[in-house]
Chains A and B, each alone.
Chain A
Amino acid sequence: MSFPWAEHYAPKHPLTKWIDSRLPLPRLVYNAIGAGYPVPRNLNYFWNFGVLAGAALAIQIITGIILAMHYAAHGDIAFQSVESIMRDVNSGWLLRYAHANGASFFFIVVYLHIFRGLYYGSYKAPREMVWLLGVVIFLLMMATAFMGYVLPWGQMSFWGAQVITGFFSAIPVVGEPIRVWLLGGFAPDNAALNRFFSLHYLLPFVIAGVVVLHIWALHIPGSNNPTGVDVKGPQDTVPFHPYYTAKDGFGLGVFLTAFSLMLFFAPNALGHADNYIPANPLSTPAHIVPEWYFWPFYAILRAFTVNFFWIPAKLWGVVAMFSAIALLFVLPWLDASPVRSANYRPLYRKFFWLLVLDVLVLGYCGVMPAEEPWVRISQFAAAYYFAHFLIILPIVSRVEKPLPLPNSISESVLHGEKAEAAPIGVQA
């Protein structure tokens, strides 16, 4: 793997030599995130978010493991055990707020990471496998976050679990038995809480495993870059260390500062007040809303209000919601354009920003009550979401005339065309 001009690991100290000849782990790290990995020299700050996603995963795992030492997964005392973490456990409030806000920041970072990929065509050959594994990570993250939100056993925990597991009952005939089997009862209760806790502990480690595959797959072709042009020679790259470790270190500082501002000064701003009320199966909250990172998908779910082709609206909603993510799996084959970066795709670039706007509109509709005008807006926005990926994108990639590409990364850099690496409104 990697380019022929990659620097070679040459241990000098007898101890590192000794280790390397028995277990070449230092070598692996050197080649993966050290000087042995040549990276395009023109990456912009949007390339920081992969490492930041890794940092966010580490924060979740570390805070999560300590929380689990104090948490009690039982319907009668789960809520109370969380409150005792907040009040009696040393720095328990810090751990819990870090874990709760950490999930939000993880999603912020991963959404930016995904949209970076969409803009710069990182999903295209030869990086399809990187992208596919990324979508798997995204799905696992959503499952993990959903089950984690159930654990404090507040009102939104309970009713969120009720609504989400209710999706399964939309499946004809077998749906209801499946739902009961998954929950271990007719409604979320102790059995459900316990299995959610078990899975919530397991899945982050599965994610960590898939992240390893994701990075392994990335290192076969190497990183994409803002021009989307392939690396041609040594003049196009710099070693990951120290160049990108330094840049990622700065990015990490900015990320942690933003995270700390939230965690220490507005720790409940992204949460929902109702989750400070203990779960009560007899009292339904006025508005059941999921966490913000699910809002766009929640809007798609609720946009299907009429039975179409004899299929009930609810089933349409559930199928569409899952399809909205599943379609990312075929994206590399929907986009036929050989040009990667949207900087050189004037037509695609416009549709990309429309998609960004569309997802923001969907997110807004997702948090509003299911009333007019929000339902109608969400129906239009959801239709546009599917049209973008399944209809517009394949056509655009056929008809559009890309702008002339630079001959190489170094040429583009040496011409001083820093603007080419800028993501918004670039004229080539």
Chain B
Amino acid sequence: MVVRFGAFLIGLVFVLALLTAFLVPREAAEETVAHKFHLHPKALKLASDGPLGKFDRQQLQRGFQVYKEVCAACHSLRFVAFRDLEGIGFTKPEVKAIANQWAIEVPAINPDTGEATTRKAMPSDYFPSPYANETAARAANNNALPPDLSLMAKAREGGAPYVHSLLTGYRDPPADLPADARPGPSLYYNPYFANLNIAMPPPLVADGQVSYADGTSASVDQMATDVSAFLVWTAEPKLENRHRTGVAVVIFLIIATTLAYLSYRNIWADQKH
């Protein structure tokens, strides 16, 4: 009785506090400029999509080429090692050559003097960052920081389609864009970016910016698609493994569950329930 009375009073207090808050007048949510002009990523079809998706290795190699020749100037890839490239179809000697010829050297210690120096990359090295540290990165990019790209395809709500849309989404600001939302100095209008103005200069600007070894014609859209596919791989290199294991596990479980169901029915056959 005491419990119920006490509970009633406490309940009343909470309900009153909430209903007071409920009745307090407030302004309807205003549609922000970013809301109004922001675009959702365009659809992008990749071979790795869906529960049975596999990587298109040819495409990943093209995407790697775009990363190497364009993005690597500003973006690191710190969770990916050169040796991992074997996973997208490069041979061991090819990987060795790629590491050896990489434009940026990796930090090292001079074995004779103990002084800090750099050396050529080896297959076991992770992709070196183009900048010594964050301060240097910001100094080179008008105080913006080019994020590491290893996990980019999982670290944004829109995933790979977002990366593709971002790379192909640069344009002139619309005429009705309010003045305070217009890109400031060294910012670029891009409706796919959350606040519409991004500090990254358009990285892919001309068809044929890279020349693909496999002869695919390198339109801007093709390069953007390829590098997005490559970033799906860098973010989730075990994707094919996961899909393959998943199919086997689910088939096994369906069979096991069917057997479990039959034995359950069999055991209960003599019982009313």
Which A residues lie at the B interface, using CB under 8 A?
Answer: 41-42, 80, 83-84, 86-87, 93-94, 97, 238, 242-243, 246-247, 249-250, 252-254, 256-257, 260-261, 263-265, 267-268, 273-274, 276-277, 286, 303-306, 308-309, 313, 316, 320, 323, 327, 330, 333-334, 336, 371-373, 375-376, 379-380, 382-383, 386-387, 389-391, 394, 413-414
Chain B residue numbers with a CB within 8 Å of A250 are 257, 260-261, 264
Instruction: State A21–B173 Cα separation when bound (angstroms).
Output: 85
Which residues 240-263 in B have Cβ within 8 Å of A in the complex?
Answer: 241-243, 245-247, 249-250, 253-254, 256-257, 260-261, 263
Q: Which residues of B contact A252 (CB under 8 A)?
A: 260
Bound state CA distance, A185 and B5, in angstroms?
42
Known: A87-B237, A265-B246, A390-B7. 8 other contacts (CB 8 A): A94-B245, A97-B242, A246-B264, A257-B254, A277-B155, A305-B21, A308-B17, A320-B17
Kindly state the separation between the CA atoms of A18 and B57 in the bound complex, as whole angstroms: 63
**Within the assembled complex, what's the spacing in Å between the Cα atoms of A249 and B258?**
11
B21 contacts A264, C-beta separation under 8 Å: no
- CB contacts (< 8 Å) of B257 on chain A: these are 250, 253-254, 256-257
In B133-178, the 8 Å CB interface with A consists of 147, 150-151, 154-157, 159
Among residues of B, the one whose C-beta sits closest to the C-beta of A80 is B79
Q: Is the CB of B155 within 8 A of A274?
A: yes
Cβ of B10 within 8 Å of any chain A Cβ, yes or no, is: yes
Q: Verify A383–B14 contact, CB threshold 8 A.
A: yes
CB distance from A191 to the nearest CB of B (A): 24
Do B256 and A253 touch across chains, with their CB atoms under 8 A apart?
yes
Known contacts A263-B246, A264-B245, A306-B24; decide if A386 and B15 are in contact (CB<8 Å): yes
Contact B17 A304 (CB under 8 A): yes
A391 to B14 Cα, complex, angstroms: 11
The residue of chain B having its C-beta at the shortest distance from the C-beta of A155 within the complex is B155
By a CB distance below 8 angstroms, the chain A residues around B27 are 372
A372-B26, A379-B19 known; A260+B253 contact, CB < 8 A:
yes
Whether B243 and A383, one on each chain, are in contact in the complex, defined by CB atoms closer than 8 angstroms, is no
> Do residues B11 and A265 form an inter-chain contact, with CB atoms below 8 A?
no
Q: Please determine whether B10 and A390 come into contact, CB atoms closer than 8 angstroms.
A: yes
Task: Give the chain A neighbours of B194 by CB distance below 8 A.
Answer: 286
Known: A260-B250, A264-B245. A334 touches B7 (CB 8 A): yes
Total interface residues in chain B, CB < 8 Å = 57
Q: Are A387 and B17 in contact (CB under 8 A)?
A: no
Main secondary structure on B side of the interface with A:
helix
Contact A308 B253 (CB under 8 A): no
CB distance from A279 to the nearest CB of B (A): 13
By Cβ-Cβ distance, the 6 closest A-B pairs, closest first, are A264-B246, A390-B11, A253-B257, A276-B155, A383-B18, A371-B29
Shortest CB-to-CB span from B126 to chain A, Å, is 10
**Do residues B24 and A391 form an inter-chain contact, with CB atoms below 8 A?**
no
Would you give 23 A-B contacts (Cβ < 8 Å), ordered by A?
A84-B79, A87-B84, A243-B267, A247-B268, A249-B263, A252-B260, A256-B253, A260-B249, A264-B246, A304-B18, A305-B24, A306-B21, A308-B20, A327-B7, A371-B29, A373-B29, A375-B26, A376-B22, A382-B14, A382-B18, A387-B15, A389-B11, A414-B272
Nearest A residue to B246 by beta-carbon distance?
A264
- B residues in contact with A327, CB < 8 Å: 7
Contact of A394 with B4 in the complex, beta carbons under 8 Å: yes
Q: Which of A277, A323, A334 contacts B3 (CB 8 A)?
A: A334
Partner of B157, one of A273, A306, A334: A273
Asked if residues B21 and A394 are in contact (CB atoms below 8 Å), the reply is no
Residues of A within 8 A of B157 (CB): 273
Q: Which residues of A contact B11 (CB under 8 A)?
A: 386-387, 389-391
Residue of B nearest to A283 (CB): B145
Are B263 and A246 interface neighbours, CB within 8 A?
yes
Tell whether B12 is near chain A: CB-to-CB under 8 Å: yes
Instruction: Point out the residues of chain A lying under 8 angstroms from B33, CB to CB.
Output: none
A405 vs B189: C-alpha distance when bound (angstroms): 70
Interface assignment of B107: CB less than 8 Å from any CB of chain A = no
Interface string of B198-237 (1 = CB under 8 A from A): 0000000000000000000000000000000000000101
Contacts of B241 in A (CB 8 A): 93
Q: Complex Cα distance A256/B27, Å?
A: 47
By beta carbon, the residue of chain A nearest B7 is: A390
Q: Which residue of A lies closest to B52 (CB)?
A: A265
Q: Is B184 an interface residue (CB 8 A)?
A: no
**Contact (A249, B260) CB under 8 Å given A306-B21, A383-B18:** yes
Q: Which of B21, B84, B241, B245 has the most CB of A within 10 A?
A: B21
B179 within 8 A of A: no
**CB distance B250 to A242 under 8 Å?**
no
Q: Is B22 a contact partner of A380 (Cβ separation < 8 A)?
A: yes
A238 to B11, CA, bound (A): 42
Complex contacts, B268 vs chain A, CB 8 Å? 243, 246-247
Q: Which residue of B lies closest to A394 (CB)?
A: B4
Contacts known (A267-B242, A306-B24, A380-B22); A391 close to B15, Cβ less than 8 A? yes
| Distance of A305 from chain B, by nearest CB (Å) | 5
Evaluate contact between B8 and A394: CB separation under 8 angstroms: yes
Closest to B34 in A: A286
Per the bound structure, the CA–CA distance linking A45 and B224 in Å amounts to 50
Closest A-chain residue to B248, C-beta based?
A: A264
A309 to B20, CA, bound (A): 11
Chain B neighbourhood of A386, CB < 8 A: 10-11, 14-15, 18
